[in-house]
């Protein structure tokens, strides 16, 4: 069975952490968002933090699509959409709440 370096990396993270892939997508999105927000002056409303999450999610799914085409002969776009939503959902919610000051009195 063909496993690219990217797929081997993901498999090693799953086996190291013991977490499901869905949870890892959520954590990866939050980690990228918080790291870029921290580097951008602790700004949760930083568009750069949100764009970084979108960029990482799109990049990872492009690699997955490539591997799908090699392994299955077609792109499992439903799985990619599912992974993208898992990755970007909470960073987007946090960004929107910070941007529009939903938690301020």
65-98 pLDDT tens trace: 999 898 889 999 999 999 999 999 999 999 999 9
Tell me, rounded to whole angstroms, the distance of Cα 39 from its chain centroid.
18
Report the mean per-residue pLDDT for the chain: 91
Domain range list for the chain? 18-99
Q: What is the pLDDT of residue 102?
A: 75
CB 90 within 8 A of CB 29: yes
Q: Structure pTM?
A: 0.89
CB 29 within 8 A of CB 88: yes
Each as own residue / partner, the long-range contacts of residues 26-32 (CB below 8 Å, 24 or more positions apart, any chain) are 26/86, 26/87, 26/89, 26/90, 28/56, 28/87, 29/53, 29/56, 29/57, 29/86, 29/87, 29/88, 29/89, 29/90, 29/91, 30/90, 30/91, 32/56, 32/91
């Amino acid at each position: 069975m063909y496993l690219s370096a990217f797929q081997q990396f993901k498999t090693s993270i799953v086996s190291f952490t013991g977490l499901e892939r869905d949870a890892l997508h959520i954590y990866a999105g939050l980690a990228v968002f918080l790291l870029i927000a921290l580097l951008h002056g602790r700004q949760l409303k930083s568009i750069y933090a949100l764009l970084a999450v979108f960029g990482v999610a799109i990049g990872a799914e492009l690699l997955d699509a490539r591997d799908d085409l090699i392994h299955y002969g077609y792109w499992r776009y439903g799985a990619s959409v599912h992974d993208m939503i898992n990755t970007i959902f909470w960073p987007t919610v946090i960004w929107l709440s910070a941007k529009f000051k939903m938690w301020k009195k």
